Amino acid sequence: MQSWNLREIDAPGGSRSPVVLRSDAAARAVLIALDPGQELGDHQVKERALVAVVDGSIRVESGGESVQGGTGCFFSFDADERRSISTRDGARILLVLAPWPGAGHYRGDRSG
């Protein structure tokens, strides 16, 4: 068993210093600390993305919809679904990408 206290992990540098907690063929779990005013701009990934708000609050925009989510909120995105995540006051989020890596994740990957 492995365990982490997501509120105590040092993540200086905000979104520029994500902390990979675990990574294998099934999934990758990443803790991202967003400093006040930071955002993960409009993006998409080849994997299903699951996002849990560990601390603080975020605004998620996807498909023309905008949702505010605080501590305890959970979001699910399909592979290739575009979204942006921002915070006014700062937040910690847990991002899980599955499977890892998804087909086509790496440039030149022709399996997907």
CATH number at residue 82: 2.60.120.10
Domain assignment present for residue 23? The answer is yes
Residue bearing tokens 């907690």: 21
The pLDDT value recorded for residue 109 is: 56
Domain assignment present for residue 11? The answer is no
Give the pTM: 0.87
d(CA 48, CA 81): 8
Domain assignment present for residue 7? The answer is no
The pLDDT value recorded for residue 111 is: 52
Domain assignment present for residue 40? The answer is yes
Domain assignment present for residue 109? The answer is no
Domain assignment present for residue 111? The answer is no
Domain range holding 26? 19-98
Number of domains present in the structure of the chain:
1
The pairing of strands 83-86 and 48-62 is antiparallel
Domain assignment present for residue 25? The answer is yes
Residue type at position 63: G
- Of the candidates 24, 23, 19, the residue with the CA atom closest to the CA atom of residue 9: 19
pLDDT digits (tens, 9 = 90+) for 76-98: 999 999 999 999 999 999 999 99
pLDDT tens string, the chain, 112 residues long: the values are: 999 999 999 988 777 889 999 999 999 999 999 999 999 988 888 999 999 999 999 999 999 999 999 999 999 999 999 999 999 999 999 999 999 877 777 766 555 5
The pLDDT value recorded for residue 108 is: 63
Alpha carbon separation from 89 to 35, 63, 65 (Å, rounded): 7, 24, 21
Domain assignment present for residue 2? The answer is no
